[in-house]
Amino acid sequence: MNTEKKSYAENLKDLRTNLETMLPKEALNVFDTDAENLQLNHQSILKLQIGEKAPGFSLSNATDKTIKLSDLLKKRKVVLAFYRGSWCPYCNVQLAHYQSSLAEIHALGAEFVAISPQTPDESLNIKEKNELNFEVLSDNGNIVAKKYTTIFKNADAPVNTMTELGFDFDAHYSDDSRELPIPAVFIIEKDATVSFAKSLGGDYRNRVEVSEIINALKK
């Protein structure tokens, strides 16, 4: 999919058109209802606010190398995005959307890092599928995510519908908690202070536009 120079909203529109042709209407309704329920049930998402210090972490990347936030911050500020997994079409569109502006993010003195609870193998999968040139880290058990964003247990309805469609949700993770982070984006300055923190709520179909990240980095 070509996400070059498109907004996330434009990419989302394309994705919805594709999903409506690819998925049975009943299945798409289950996923949409799930997203709407999450939006209603989770209002206050962020655990970390602008001006606070970002908690440090050491996590495995897609090739099982340990990446430390403190090491990254010695060189550049860090844009940190929490996402659900490689099985989530909205996550794939979001990360590809950010990849299309990665050169500009780097030019503004920042590194981009994405974090999910899935295994390093699945992190490698999403990297290769979307040709991502940034670190994709594995946060098993959402230990780091819990300090930044809200964690919830994926409901039975979407998981069962995924199974019916031939997707094994649990195979992407090394535990069976079915806990996922609500997508959120943070900018962490070199002194570890948070200068940008945003989530669009529990409805995972909506994501932070890369233009907002770029504008925040320019300030």
pLDDT at 175 (0 to 100) = 85
Give the pLDDT confidence of 53-107 residue by residue, as tens digits. 999 999 999 999 999 999 999 999 999 999 999 999 999 999 999 999 999 999 9
Pairing verdict, β 179-181 and 151-153: antiparallel
Q: Which whole-number Å values give the CA distances from 180 to 169, 170, 187, in the listed order? A: 11, 12, 21
116-155: string of b/e by CB count within 10 Å (b at 16+)? bbbbbebbbbbbeebebebbbbbbbebebbeebbbbeebe
Q: How confident is the model at residue 1 (pLDDT cuts 50, 70, 90)?
A: very low
Q: Any catalytic annotation for residue 91?
A: yes
What's 15-47 look like in SS3? HHHHHHHHCCHHHHHHHHHHHHHHHHHCCCCCC
Give the pLDDT confidence of 158-189 residue by residue, as tens digits. 888 888 988 888 888 888 899 999 999 999 99
pLDDT at 3 (0 to 100) = 41
Helix (H, G, I), strand (E, B) or coil at 9: helix
| Residues 92, 113 contacting (CB under 8 angstroms) | no
pTM of this prediction?
A: 0.91
Pairing verdict, β 184-188 and 179-181: unpaired
Distance, in Å, from the CA atom of 28 to the CA atom of 91, rounded to the nearest integer, reads 16
From the list 91, 137, 184, 187, the catalytic residue is: 91
Q: Give the DSSP per-residue string, 111-136.
A: EEEEEESS-HHHHHHHHHHHT--SEE
Closest CA to 172 of 129, 113, 111: 129
Give me the half-sphere count of Cα atoms (radius 13 Å) on the Cβ side of residue 62. 18
* Dihedral over Cα of 46, 70, 66, 58: its sign: negative
Over pLDDT 70: what percentage of the chain? 98
pLDDT at 2 (0 to 100) = 44
Give the pLDDT confidence of 117-146 residue by residue, as tens digits. 999 999 999 999 899 999 999 999 999 999
User: 152 has which bridge partners?
Assistant: 180
